[in-house]
Amino acid sequence: MPVILIDANIEGQGACIWMRLRSSAWSDFTSGLDVTFQTFREVGLEQASTDDAVWRFCQAHGYYLLTSNRNEDSEDALEATIRRERTPASLPVFTLSLPDRVYYGPSFLERVVEKLFDYLLDAQNIRGTERLYLP
């Protein structure tokens, strides 16, 4: 069962993607793969959790992280953590390239969902990659 943890800074975008996954067009696929989306609150993480803590939490629990975060401003930044701690077995981070477009670009949202399913269907072959961009 793939669990996707929505980063605190894109909960609205994550909810929009989740609604599309549960729509009639994608619901059979979503249930067939048993995909779920979770928020920080639902998994017991603080909104202000550091990037490195979130990444380690996801790896420990087998969750994919959905984020728009691409910075490497400090040692505990997500990009720095991935580069330092990634192993061949690590789950990738799904990164929304243009997060606000999911709100007003229906075709963009559709491409995000399609790409997400492409990645999930290839789950064994995407381990160990750093980031995978949506779309």
Tell me the per-residue pLDDT of 38-89, one tens digit each, with 9 for 90 and over. 999 999 999 999 999 999 999 999 999 999 977 767 888 999 999 999 999 9
Mean pLDDT value of segment 26-34? 96
The model carries a pTM of: 0.95
Q: Fill in the DSSP letter of residue 12.
A: H
pLDDT digits (tens, 9 = 90+) for 3-28: 999 999 999 999 999 999 999 999 99
User: CB within 8 A of 43, min separation 6: which ones?
Assistant: 5, 57, 61, 63
Maximum CA pair distance of the chain? 43
* Among candidate residues 15, 17, 117, 5, the one with its CA nearest the CA of residue 62: 5
